[in-house]
Amino acid sequence: MQLISAQPSPFGRKVKVMLIETDQADAVERVDVMTTPVATDPKVAAANPVGKIPALVREDGPTLYDSRVICRYLDARANAGLYPEARIWDTLTLEATADGIMDAAVLMVYEHRVRPESLVFEGWIEAQWAKVIRSVNAVNDRWMSHLHGPFDASHIAMGCALAYLDFRLGDRDWRTRNKDLTDWFSVFEKRDSMTETAPE
């Protein structure tokens, strides 16, 4: 199998962490690309008609894309139990919240990186940050019991989301109001799977 992604992508990192946590890293060749919404790498376009990363190219079936689909596949492939049926809706909802944080943060980055400077819309950037901080606050207020519970896919997603905020939006402060989540992340980011996938 091949994982088509970009080294800084939080969604790609989520899949890479899943691979390590489920002992499947050696089964996948990593193919790093440079791609943006306005300049899609040909490898990405061939793998995913939507032009987004990551994409998992399989020899025994169609290419999978969207990090949530890939993570579910890898979990099932390894029979790892990181989408536990007993709390599946909580796990999926927290994963969706983390993905929403990553979506909004990536859009903030793209607004300056891809859009001509004269067309950058600061109101759009602040609206995306409002989504991020509202979601982070909600996790701190409502989801800490889940994050302190048995390890599952939502932990991976949330860890990658918070790490991306530090990586790309380090001038923004998500921690001050969110001590419990800050404390959780300070431990989680030291996992081998996180340190081994940290973007340069």
Chosen domain end from 78, 96, 111:
78
Per DSSP, the residues of the chain read: -EEEE-TT-HHHHHHHHHHHHTT-GGG-EEEE---BTTB--HHHHHH-TT--S-EEE-SSSPPEESHHHHHHHHHHHHT--SS-GGGHHHHHHHHHHHHHHHHHHHHHHHHHHTS-GGG--HHHHHHHHHHHHHHHHHHHHHSHHHHTSS--HHHHHHHHHHHHHHHH-TTS--STT-HHHHHHHHHHTTSHHHHTT---
Average pLDDT in the 141-170 region? 98
Domain stops at, among 50, 78, 106: 78
Which whole number is the average pLDDT over 117-143? 97
Quote the pLDDT of residue 57: 98
- What is the rounded average pLDDT of the residues 26-51? 95
Average pLDDT estimate for 99-125: 95
Please indicate, yes or no, whether residues 15 and 66 belong to a single structural domain of this protein.
Answer: yes
Q: What is the pLDDT of residue 74?
A: 98
Rounded mean pLDDT of 71-92? 98
**Residue 200 within any structural domain of the chain:** no
Q: pLDDT at position 152, please?
A: 98
Residue-level pLDDT at 194: 98
Q: What is the pLDDT of residue 33?
A: 96
Task: Give yes or no for residue 166 having a pLDDT over 90.
Answer: yes
Query: Same domain for 50 and 133?
Result: no
Average pLDDT over residues 20-24: 98
Q: What is the pLDDT of residue 140?
A: 98
CATH of the domain at 181: 1.20.1050.10
Total of domains in the chain? 2
pLDDT band (50, 70, 90) for residue 200: confident
Same domain for 96 and 68: no
Q: Please check whether residues 89 and 73 belong to one and the same domain.
A: no
In a domain, 199, yes or no: no
Chosen domain end from 14, 43, 78: 78
**Pair 105, 148 in one domain:** yes
Residue 12: give the domain boundaries.
2-78
Q: What is the mean pLDDT of residues 174-181?
A: 98
Arithmetic mean of pLDDT, 130-143: 98
